[in-house]
Amino acid sequence: MPAKKSLAMLLGSVLMFGSTQLMAAPTASMLADTCAGCHGPDGSSMGPAIPNIAGVSAEYFNTVMKEYAEDDRASTIMGRIARGYTTEEIALMADFYAAKKLKSTTQKLDTAKVDAGSKLYKKNCSKCHDEFGALADDDSGILAGQWLPYLHYSMEDFQAGNREMPKKMKKKIKKLSAAEIETLLQFFASQQ
């Protein structure tokens, strides 16, 4: 009986793919669930530093993973992980996490800085990081409710040239002081 079944499967796959490749790709949840050990269940991280990935747009996820794999974006560990997947597998994970809703985080923030940041946000960031950094569809990642240490690391990488900054962002960042940038990061972290 098992022999019969595998023969049927073999024929099935030959018919479908015209090859003898038997192994189907892992499902989206099979692939994506392996991320949860570090990024939290369904991509909502408990912090303090590993970022949330729940709800990021598929476009953003795909781009970032490609950059990690090719060492175009600085990372400690993500390059090593990203190189383990095909473009198709990454796309499955991207769709999986795009469909997840981010759970709100609680982190210690400085209210005065958050307030100051909210004033700077509109003028400097709102065009690309829409809805206070919460809109996935702008493909800029989700900054709202993101863990503050991660936002610090990202900004350090941007400013050190280890991660490519969009031209418009570069111009804006240049004009802001370190203290002002800090208030912006605190503001984004405070958003739910």
Residues 95-154 that bind another protein (CB under 8 A): 103, 147, 149, 153
User: Among residues 7, 11, 14, 38, which is the contact residue for another protein, using CB under 8 A?
Assistant: 38
Piece of 11-19, 30-38, 57-65, 135-143 that binds another protein (CB under 8 A): 30-38
Residues 50-79 that bind another protein (CB under 8 A): 50, 76-77
Q: How far is the CB of 53 from another protein (least distance, A)?
A: 11
Question: Does residue 31 interact with another protein by CB under 8 A?
Answer: yes
DSSP 101: P
Q: How far is the CB of 94 from another protein (least distance, A)?
A: 15
Residue 143 to residue 52: CA distance in whole angstroms = 9
Structure tokens at 132: 């206070």
User: Among residues 85, 109, 130, 176, which is the contact residue for another protein, using CB under 8 A?
Assistant: 85
Q: How far is the CB of 59 from another protein (least distance, A)?
A: 23
Residue 1 to residue 75: CA distance in whole angstroms = 50
Question: Exposure pattern of 125-164 as b/e (b: 16+ CB <10 Å)?
Answer: beeebeebbbbbebebbbbbbbbbbbbebbbebbeeeebe
Residue 78 to residue 117: CA distance in whole angstroms = 29
Angle separating helix axes 87-98 and 58-69, nearest 10 degrees: 140
Q: How far is the CB of 49 from another protein (least distance, A)?
A: 4
Question: Which residues would be at the binding site for another protein (CB under 8 A)?
Answer: 23-27, 29-31, 33-41, 44-50, 76-77, 80-81, 83-85, 89, 103, 147, 149, 153, 156
